[in-house]
Amino acid sequence: MLGGIDPKQMDALMRKMGIKSQSIDAEEVVIKGPKTIIIKEPQVTMMEVQGQKTFQIAGRIEETPADNKGDLNVIMEQTGASEDEARKALDDSHGDIAEAIMKIKKG
């Protein structure tokens, strides 16, 4: 029970307010950015309110550095920069490849 309310009662109350919710089976959830966040054994709930879908995710979190090897190759090919220069530009631009390329080209 959540806050003294039976889960079935909570679902009924949410439906009355126009909120649809649905559990989603998932093995893991991956969020990619400057760091990659992997959520293992997630409990995922999708809610829809006024046509807008939102997701609630709970689980065991693992955080890893983003895999930038491919990004570094693109930057080096486009600019002729060394791997170290490409890595610094990518770090300085928070993972934005286009911004990293522009920084290197501008000098």
Q: Map out the domains of the chain with their CATH numbers.
A: 20-65 (2.20.70.30), 69-106 (1.10.8)
The answer to whether residues 41 and 57 touch, using CB atoms and an 8 Å cutoff, is: no
Whether pLDDT at 53 is above 90? yes
Q: Which residue has the higher pLDDT, 53 or 107?
A: 53
SS3 86: helix
Mean pLDDT of 15-22: 88
Q: What is the pTM of this model?
A: 0.51
pLDDT in tens, 63-91: 766 557 888 889 999 999 999 999 899 88
CA atoms of 89 and 81, how far apart (whole Å): 10
